[in-house]
């Protein structure tokens, strides 16, 4: 009788242990990783970060601020963002960075120029900014309506970073912004206009007369922008009803005939006329050899 009672008590005491072990599958790997990452982060917050120390993953704004500080920036945490100001090539760029844990990336915004309320962005300027983005690295220009500023935005992978890596990425974007300052800085536009030499009219028929950024408008708010580089690559942006589409490819010219062969296998056969240093007409030719649409492009200033 005593043995039966002892056995019953033992089974009762062991039941919770067996139950807990059976429920081990309820603990997900993600949840366990989150606990360990928080513990690791706490250790890192105590330690001093060296500029070349490779960090497995930045998991908080505080850790991002400390990494930027190690890179030489006077960064501070403001509203879950790491913010600092960068002096570069005569400019003062406010920079904001955000840790996106879910996507495992760090998002960046570099504020450039504030748009005058009396002179809002026109569609031609907007198109020029769209075509000026660096598609290879994912950097693009954008307008932030709340601050009324033109920004350069990009993001990068949040794995194995060093403070030196962050500094290199920021300076690379600052160089890109400076190289395209004529698109977003009224001061730069005026300075370039005053110093630009006049183009000889005899150059208008050369291929390089089409190299650069151009924009054209149609009735109803429809607009186009095209950028042609010296290596004959083109990028064409079409803006209609607030939506934009982008095409890229190879441009080739024979006399007044211009062919735009897109990377998506779409080809536009065009004719160039009325060309000068700051404008030209582009006629898109249909299958019957007629001009389906005429676009009067002007040089982007």
Q: What number does CATH give the domain 45-185?
A: 3.30.1460.10
- Distance, in Å, from the CA atom of 123 to the CA atom of 120, rounded to the nearest integer, reads 10
- In this prediction, residue 78 has a pLDDT band, given cuts at 50, 70 and 90, of very high
pTM above 0.85, yes or no: no
Tell me which of 127-131, 162-166, 285-289 is least confident: 127-131
- Distance, in Å, from the CA atom of 226 to the CA atom of 16, rounded to the nearest integer, reads 71
Antiparallel, parallel or unpaired: β 291-299 and 279-285: antiparallel
pLDDT above 60 for 208: no
User: pLDDT: is 220 or 35 the higher one?
Assistant: 220
- Distance, in Å, from the CA atom of 91 to the CA atom of 87, rounded to the nearest integer, reads 6
Tell me which of 56-65, 158-167, 246-255 is least confident: 246-255
Mean pLDDT of 142-161: 90
Residue 135 is predicted with a pLDDT of 67
Q: How many CA atoms lie within 13 A of 53 on its CB side?
A: 16
Residue 253 is predicted with a pLDDT of 82
Residue 180 is predicted with a pLDDT of 85
Mean pLDDT of 41-61: 74
Q: Which tens digits make up the pLDDT trace of 87-101? A: 988 899 999 999 999
Query: In the chain, where are the structural domains located?
Result: 45-185, 207-299
In the chain, what percentage of residues exceed pLDDT 70?
75
- In this prediction, residue 58 has a pLDDT band, given cuts at 50, 70 and 90, of very high
- Distance, in Å, from the CA atom of 110 to the CA atom of 158, rounded to the nearest integer, reads 18
Domain 207-299 has CATH 2.160.10.10: no
Residue 4 is predicted with a pLDDT of 53
Q: Which tens digits make up the pLDDT trace of 278-287? A: 888 999 988 8
pLDDT above 60 for 68: yes
């Amino acid at each position: 009788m005593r043995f039966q009672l002892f056995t019953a008590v033992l089974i009762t005491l062991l039941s919770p242990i067996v139950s807990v072990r059976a429920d081990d599958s309820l603990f997900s790997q993600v949840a366990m990783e989150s606990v360990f990452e928080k513990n690791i982060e706490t250790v890192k917050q105590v330690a001093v970060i060296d500029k070349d120390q490779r960090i497995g993953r930045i998991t908080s704004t505080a850790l991002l601020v400390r990494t930027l500080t190690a890179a030489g920036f006077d960064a501070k945490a403001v509203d879950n963002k790491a913010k600092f100001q960068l002096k570069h090539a005569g400019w003062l760029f406010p920079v904001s960075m955000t840790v996106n844990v879910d996507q495992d990336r760090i998002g960046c915004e570099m504020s450039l120029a504030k748009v005058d309320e009396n002179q809002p962005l026109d569609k031609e300027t907007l198109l020029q900014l769209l075509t000026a983005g660096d598609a290879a690295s994912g950097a693009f220009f954008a307008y932030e309506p709340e601050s009324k500023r033109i920004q350069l935005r990009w993001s990068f992978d949040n794995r194995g970073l060093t403070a030196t890596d962050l500094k290199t990425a920021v300076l690379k974007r600052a160089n890109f912004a400076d190289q395209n300052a004529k698109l977003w800085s009224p001061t730069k536009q005026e300075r370039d206009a005053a110093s630009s030499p006049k183009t000889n009219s005899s150059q208008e028929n050369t291929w390089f007369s089409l190299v650069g950024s151009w924009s054209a408008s149609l009735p109803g708010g429809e607009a186009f922008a095209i950028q042609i580089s010296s290596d004959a690559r083109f990028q064409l942006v079409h803006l209609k009803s607030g939506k934009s589409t982008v095409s890229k490819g190879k441009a080739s010219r024979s006399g007044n005939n211009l062919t735009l062969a897109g990377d998506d296998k779409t080809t536009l056969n065009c004719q160039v006329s009325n060309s000068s240093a700051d404008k030209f007409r582009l006629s898109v030719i249909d299958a019957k050899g007629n001009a389906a649409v005429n676009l009067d492009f002007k040089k982007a200033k």
